[in-house]
Amino acid sequence: MHKEPHKKLIGFFILVGFALLIGLISKSVFDKVFTNEENVVVMYFDESVKGLNVGSSVVFKGVEIGKVSKIQLIADPKNLDFSIPVYARFSPNQDLAQSDKSPWEKRRAISAFIQKGLRARLITQSYLTGQLMIELEMLPDTPIVLKEKNTAILEIPTVLSPIGELSKGFQNLPIRRTLETFNSILTQMDDELPRILPQFAQIGERLNKLIEQNAPLTADTLNTVNETLYDISDAAKALRNFADYIERHPEAILKGKGEY
């Protein structure tokens, strides 16, 4: 005899399955629309972020405390300006504030760190691949510059990376002014050379004439100097011989040299 299925049991399983499906859909929608932002921060960098990707590390004192979660490019048609907000999510068990604090207490703690100098900057993670990561560092002598208008997300001020600082330093060098000054000097030299060269030629001719006129006098003077030097050398040799003799026979000073 054929047994009929239990309709109530079937209906129960269908209801449970439907409830699970609704729960999964609701969780997915909640994760996308109502994302928990208590561990999310945003940073605006005034330099190229090429090499920084979603999933790049965020480190503090060499310890990874989070990862980059989103990178956006926002254009402002009015000001013709571009901004690149970089979002990062701290690890729940490894962030700047204590993990057992409430979201409000964590936010207040990080805000206090920002006031004391907490800044973000780009550093190279791999020179081989050019991959970047974000380093958080205490730099109390740098200004706090904030750009985020959405107060729901905490913004960490940024500073230029070491490479960015070096590039900025080269850009600020007065290279153009130096080149213009150098070109001006060369132009003046070109204008003055036709007038200066004949003067140098005259000076050279006068020196040659002076040397030719005084050549005999110069030769006699050199001969006199050489003779004087020879006489001084002979006198020094004689004095040295006398000193050697006195050193060997000191009694000669009293009795004379003839007795020895």
Whether 83 is covered by a domain: the verdict is yes
Rounded distance, CA 212 to CA 85, Å? 83
Whether 9 is covered by a domain: the verdict is no
* Domain encompassing residue 58: 40-160
Whether 3 is covered by a domain: the verdict is no
Same domain, 150 and 54: yes
Rounded distance, CA 107 to CA 115, Å? 12
The reported pLDDT for the residue numbered 120 is: 94
Last residue of a domain, which of 160, 193, 210?
160
Same domain, 82 and 149: yes
Whether 111 is covered by a domain: the verdict is yes
Q: What is the mean pLDDT of the chain?
A: 75
Same domain, 134 and 228: no
Same domain, 195 and 118: no
Whether 2 is covered by a domain: the verdict is no
Same domain, 211 and 151: no
Same domain, 91 and 186: no
Rounded distance, CA 114 to CA 120, Å? 10
**Residue 44's pLDDT band (boundaries 50, 70, 90)?**
very high
Question: Structure pTM?
Answer: 0.52
Cβ neighbours around 239 below 10 Å, total: 10
Question: Which alpha helices (DSSP H) does 65-214 contain, by range?
Answer: 103-115, 162-172, 175-213
Whether 165 is covered by a domain: the verdict is no
Cβ neighbours around 107 below 10 Å, total: 17
Last residue of a domain, which of 126, 160, 194?
160
Same domain, 154 and 71: yes
Q: What is the pLDDT of residues 136-164, one digit of tens each?
A: 999 999 999 888 776 778 999 999 987 77
Same domain, 111 and 156: yes
Q: Residues 93-97: what's their mean pLDDT?
A: 68
Give me the number of domains the chain comprises: 2
